[in-house]
Amino acid sequence: NRQWLYFDRYWNNCVYQMSKLFPTTSAENLVICINQGARATDGFIALMTNQIADLHFNGDSQCFPRFIYNTTDNSKKEEPDLFKSTEENSETAASGDFIKEDAITDEALEHFQEAYPENTISKDDLFYYIYGILHSPDYRTKYANNLSKELPRIPRVATFEQFKAFSEAGRKLADLHVNFEKQPRYSGVNIQMKPSASFHVTQMKWGKIKGKTGNAAKDKTRLIYNSDITIENIPLGTQEYVVNKKSALDWIVERCCVKVDKDSGIVNDFNKYGEEMGDSTYPYDLFLKVITVSVETMKIVKNLPALEIHPLDIEGD
């Protein structure tokens, strides 16, 4: 879910290299975030975003961008003026003082083009291919040991047709994950809603299975949204789409709530975000849209080609 961020070194403990990925609010970029050094018990996950990602957005996130923004003055070694003052930030953004450069090198593109000499691929094709490969169950299983210790290495697949299939799948996955708020509500559920129902949410809860306790008692085909709304017939397959140790839906149920910080007394009310957007149904819509994201993601993942390595990469594989 999205949250407002005041991005400035004075306020943020660690900003890392985010100033080169999103130097201004209008800077466009796509970033593949992996949970670096994922333990076998956690599983390797890749997730894409088009905005600044929290360190724990996806495990301990390591970000791989489509583009990098550098200052026009290459002699500047310090961080961009974005971090110096609000006035300077505005001037820098207005003057267009950043150069948008490909994060994928020409050498990387040539490396993959070498495997498919009769076909032309672009850097966008390669970027989405990487995202597709990182979702491959075969890839995650075959290289599970490596992925728990080092950054992912991206193999070249056996044929251009397979490359194209992974790239097209990666492009579809990117649209689902980056534009999750724009996906349609999942229509296959049953909604029990009282007349004049409120969409205000305090804490969503899963239904309960009689005779069971703990997590086993949670009926994840049924959600009690609030006292006015219950959502039933949720596909159990949605639980297969796991991000950072939990299903995407479990994250929605946990985080879309009203919570009071014990130390400060500050109230974190998820409903406020929707109200600021002029949409009081936002939490309700978000849950139904993330069902769509989960269902469609697993359809794409299950239809990925088997992982076959190109002869050029087999030696030393």
- Confirm if 5 and 52 have CB atoms less than 8 A apart: yes
Q: Is residue 81 part of a domain?
A: yes
- Same domain for 194 and 288, yes or no, is yes
* pTM, 2 dp: 0.89
Which residues have C-beta within 8 Å of that of residue 99, sequence separation ≥ 6? 69, 70, 71, 72
Task: Give per-residue pLDDT as tens, 215-266.
Answer: 889 999 999 999 999 999 999 999 999 988 899 999 999 999 999 999 999 9
- Confirm if 294 and 141 have CB atoms less than 8 A apart: no
What is residue 97's predicted lDDT score, i.e. its pLDDT? 80
Please give the residue that has the higher pLDDT: either 281 or 40: 281
Please give the residue that has the higher pLDDT: either 212 or 42: 212
- Distance (Å, whole) CA 98 – CA 193: 51
Q: Is residue 126 part of a domain?
A: no
Nearest to 300 by CA among 196, 167, 101, 184: 167
Task: Give per-residue pLDDT as tens, 300-316.
Answer: 999 999 999 999 998 65
What is residue 39's predicted lDDT score, i.e. its pLDDT? 60
Task: Give per-residue pLDDT as tens, 138-194.
Answer: 999 999 888 888 889 999 999 999 999 999 999 999 999 999 999 999 999 999 999
* Residue 31 in this model has a pLDDT that exceeds 50: yes
Q: Which domain holds residue 225?
A: 187-302
Task: Give per-residue pLDDT as tens, 47-90.
Answer: 999 999 988 888 788 999 999 999 876 544 444 333 333 333 43
- Distance (Å, whole) CA 19 – CA 82: 8
Q: Is residue 114 part of a domain?
A: no
Tell me how many domains the chain contains.
Answer: 2
Alpha-carbon torsion, ordered 293, 68, 55, 269, to 10 deg: -60
Of the three residues 85, 103, 121, the one that is the final residue of a domain is 103
Pick from 92-101, 195-204, 243-252 the range whose average pLDDT is largest.
195-204
Which residues have C-beta within 8 Å of that of residue 217, sequence separation ≥ 6? 208, 209
What is residue 57's predicted lDDT score, i.e. its pLDDT? 85
**Mean pLDDT calculated for residue range 104-133:** 96
Q: Is residue 45 part of a domain?
A: yes
- Same domain for 95 and 198, yes or no, is no
Q: Which residues are bridge partners to 203 per DSSP? A: 257
Q: Is residue 115 part of a domain?
A: no
Task: Give per-residue pLDDT as tens, 278-300.
Answer: 999 999 999 999 999 999 999 99
Average pLDDT, the chain: 89
Question: Read out DSSP for 226-268?
Answer: SSSEEEE---GGGGG-EETTEEHHHHHHHHSBEEE-TTT--EE
Of the three residues 57, 79, 103, the one that is the final residue of a domain is 103
Q: Is residue 60 part of a domain?
A: yes
Query: How is the chain split among helix, strand and coil, in percent rounded to 5?
Result: 35, 20, 45
Q: Is residue 71 part of a domain?
A: yes
Of the three residues 50, 75, 103, the one that is the final residue of a domain is 103
Q: Is residue 234 part of a domain?
A: yes
What is residue 153's predicted lDDT score, i.e. its pLDDT? 93
